[in-house]
């Protein structure tokens, strides 16, 4: 299992091993364990590019895993790669564990390995070391006191303790409710509004959902969930929702991401694909490749072949920086009338 993360907003000093290791949970969204993490150095080499995490393989699978990970760096503009191995025990007087896999990676990569680091776990006070120098070693600083942690807090980013904990965010709230809603949606042959007022009525439904979210009301009713699922299927509504992902990590984008996450948990397949795709796109825009990938996988599980989800999955696979596809949102941007988020309101919030 692999996780790709494009260059994001988390600042990290690639020349400081301890700070880099402590920043990993914020760079990939969760605390990696039994993992190989490859961090591309963007030209001129002082900031991270593509970040790729893969499971540590069994001995017989080393070569295959090394080729799979290194292939992701065949394209792009990187000056080199830092390899981090997380897991295993280091015996006294011996090099860090998994040195054989590091050799496989070094041979498979088309880029130079600029640093090769090891730590048994990403925890405050855990030991770390370098594969190429015994003197290059130390202990990890307080993970909560790093520059990366401060930046993540400022942008509202949460680092989870495990990939499984992050994935659990997407779990259905009530399978019974999904079954009822699936039955109701299957009986709809067209949007539940008149043609003449369809888009405006659908926008009102989304606006009402934002309002109930602000008020902290309870779970969606079946009627609300069905109407929201129907609204997100309209191209005009979807485009406005895409536009809400920029500027990334703004108050509006965070509010939208919370609503899309709620809908992923409250909507049955195949309609769930729309909310999951919006969630993936919004997470991608703020640089959270791990969660974006999970959301897009969720969308494609709900509706295999979903065009936008497949497109976003491909660009995520190649580690494309969010800025490159930001035009997907800005092209859809327009007056956010109907969602209760007029451009003047947005400007006032950003200035506050």
The CA R_g of the chain, rounded to the nearest whole Å, is: 22
- Whether 111 and 142 have beta carbons less than 8 Å apart is answered as no
Question: What is the pTM assigned to this prediction?
Answer: 0.78
Name the residue among 106, 121, 44, 30 with its Cα closest to residue 70. 106
3-state secondary structure of 123: coil
- pLDDT value at position 128? 97
pLDDT for res 94 = 87
Q: How crowded is residue 235: how many other Cβ atoms within 10 Å of its Cβ?
A: 9
* 98 closest CA partner among 145, 133, 132, 58: 58
Does the structure show a pLDDT above 60 at 24? yes
For the record, the structure tokens of 159 come out as 């680092």
Question: Which pLDDT score is estimated for 328?
Answer: 76
Strand partners, 54: 2, 36
pLDDT above 80: residue 99:
yes
């Amino acid at each position: 299992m692999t996780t790709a993360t494009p260059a994001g907003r988390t600042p990290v000093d690639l020349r400081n091993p301890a700070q880099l290791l402590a920043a990993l949970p914020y760079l990939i969204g969760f605390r990696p364990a039994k993992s190989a993490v490859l961090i591309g150095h963007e030209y001129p080499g002082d900031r991270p590019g593509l970040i790729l995490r893969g499971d540590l393989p069994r001995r017989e699978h080393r070569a295959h895993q090394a080729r799979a990970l290194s292939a992701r760096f065949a394209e792009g503009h990187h000056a080199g790669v830092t390899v981090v191995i997380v897991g295993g025990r280091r015996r006294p007087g011996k090099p860090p564990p998994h040195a054989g896999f590091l050799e496989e990676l070094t041979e498979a990569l088309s880029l130079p390995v600029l640093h090769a680091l090891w730590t048994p776990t990403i925890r405050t006070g855990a030991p770390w070391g370098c594969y190429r120098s015994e003197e290059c070693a130390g202990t990890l600083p307080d993970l909560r006191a790093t520059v990366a942690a401060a930046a993540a807090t400022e942008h509202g980013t949460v680092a989870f303790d495990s990939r499984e904990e992050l994935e659990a965010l997407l779990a259905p709230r009530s399978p019974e409710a999904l079954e009822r809603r699936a039955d109701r949606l299957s009986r709809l042959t067209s949007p539940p509004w008149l043609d003449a007022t369809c888009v405006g009525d659908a926008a009102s439904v989304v606006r009402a959902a934002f309002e109930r979210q602000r008020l902290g009301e309870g779970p969606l009713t079946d009627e609300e969930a069905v109407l929201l699922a129907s609204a997100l299927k309209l191209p005009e509504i979807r485009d406005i929702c895409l536009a809400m992902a920029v500027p990334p990590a703004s108050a509006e984008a965070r509010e939208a991401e919370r609503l899309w996450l709620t809908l992923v948990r409250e909507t049955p397949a195949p309609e769930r694909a729309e909310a999951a795709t919006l969630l993936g796109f919004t997470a991608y825009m703020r640089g959270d490749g791990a969660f974006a990938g999970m959301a897009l996988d969720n969308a494609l599980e709900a509706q295999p072949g979903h065009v936008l989800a497949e497109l976003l999955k491909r660009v995520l696979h190649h580690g494309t920086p969010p800025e490159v596809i930001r035009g997907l949102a800005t092209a859809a941007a327009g007056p956010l009338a109907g969602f209760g988020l007029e451009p003047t309101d947005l400007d006032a919030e950003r200035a506050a």
